[in-house]
Amino acid sequence: MDRQVRNLRIAAVSDIHVLSDGTDEPLIRAIRDRVTSLAPEVFIIAGDLSHHISVLEETLSELAIDDIVNLYVPGNHDIWFEKNPPISSMDKYAKVIGRICREQGFHYLPDEPYEHDSIGFVGSMGWSDYSFARPELGISEEQYMRKEYGGATWFDVFNVDWELTDREITDLFNHKIEYDLSTLSPSIERVVYVSHHLPFRELTVYKNRLPWDFFSAYMGATSTGEILQQDERVILTISGHSHVRNLIRKGRITAVTVPLGYCRPPNGDFNAFAKMAVADIHIQGTEVSVNDFQRGDMCEGIPYRTAR
C-alpha cells in the first residue's frame, strides 16, 4: 500500500490528575482497558498526571501499553517543583520526566519527535503568552504576569520556579517546535502536534464571567498555532489543559482537546467514564476523524476530587 494513504489509529487522553491516595486504581485500570480495546498504533497522554513525581512514575508504568507506541508530553501540574527531595520545574521538564518516560515505556516528545512511518509526532508542553486574553476585560499584562486578579489566583505562580517570564518560556518552546519540524526525516509527509497547552484560541471556551475568562489567558499561545499553520504537513493537534473538551477545524488542521478533569464518576462506572475520556482518533491519508467524540466538561455537575 502507498505509504501516503496509510491509516493510523490514535487513542488520546489528558488531565487525569491522578489522586495520590491510591483510590484512582480502578480509573487507571479502566483507561488502560479502554485503550487496549481500541487497539491503536499510538497512545498519547497530553499531560497533567500529577505534581508528585512518584505518582507520575507509577501511573506511567500502569498505562504503558505493550506493543504500541506510548507518547507523553507533560502538563503544567507535572512540572510543579517539589521540596522534598528538591526537584525544580526545569529539572522535571528537561530531565526527570524524560528519564521516567524512557524507563516506563513512554517516548517523551519534548526531547525529540517520534517518527511512525510517514507520520511525525512533534510535541511540547506548550505554554501561555496571554494571547488568549480577552482585551475587552481591560486586564493589564502586569496583572497576567502576577497571575492574580480580584482575589482569584492562577496556581502556577506558586508552583513553577523557573525564572523566566511566560513569554520567554513560550518563545523557547516555539523555537524547539520549529527546530523539531525542520529536522524531521524527508519521508515524513504528515505531522501530528501534541501539547498540553492549546495552540489555537478557538479551542478555548470563554464564559463571559470572571475569574474564568481571566484564567483563559493561561490556556495557550496563538504564536504556537501560527507555526503549525505554516507547516503544510501538520494535519492534527492533540492537547489538554483546558478541562472543556473541544474539537475544531482550523483550515486543514483538526484540533482536539482530550481532558478528563478533577472529578470521578459518581456512580462508580469507571469503564463508561474511561470510554468518554479516551478519544478514538483516525488518520486516513490526510483526513482526520474522531469517533463518538465526547465534547464539553466531563465534570459538569460532578463534585471535584482534588489531587493533594
Site string for Fe ion, 52-91 (x = CB under 5 A): -----------------------xx---------------
The rounded distance, in Å, linking the Cα atoms of 29 and 270 is 9
Where in 217-246 is the site for Fe ion (CB under 5 A)?
241
Instruction: Tell me the closest approach of the beta carbon of residue 299 to Fe ion, in angstroms.
Output: 11
Q: Binding-site residue total for Fe ion (CB under 5 A)?
A: 5
153: Cα within 13 Å, side-chain hemisphere: 6
Tell me whether residue 107 or residue 196 sits nearer to Fe ion (CB atom). 196
Tell me whether residue 192 or residue 198 sits nearer to Fe ion (CB atom). 198
Instruction: Tell me the closest approach of the beta carbon of residue 115 to Fe ion, in angstroms.
Output: 27
Closest to 234 in 3D by CA, of 141, 123, 108: 123
Handedness of CA 192, 43, 26, 18 (dihedral sign): negative
Tell me whether residue 101 or residue 188 sits nearer to Fe ion (CB atom). 101
The rounded distance, in Å, linking the Cα atoms of 32 and 44 is 12
- Under the binding rule (CB under 5 A), the answer on residue 166 touching Fe ion is no
- Under the binding rule (CB under 5 A), the answer on residue 280 touching Fe ion is no
Q: 82 to each of 24, 52, 54, 96, 158, how far by Cα in Å?
A: 22, 8, 11, 12, 11
The rounded distance, in Å, linking the Cα atoms of 195 and 122 is 9
Q: Maximum Cα–Cα distance for the chain, whole Å?
A: 59
Q: For Fe ion, which stretch binds (CB under 5 A), given 8-16, 199-207, 226-234, 249-257?
A: 8-16
Where in 34-53 is the site for Fe ion (CB under 5 A)?
48
Tell me whether residue 40 or residue 75 sits nearer to Fe ion (CB atom). 75
Instruction: Tell me the closest approach of the beta carbon of residue 161 to Fe ion, in angstroms.
Output: 17
**Residue found by looking up cell 517518527 in the block:** 115
Binding region for Fe ion (CB under 5 A): 15, 48, 75-76, 241
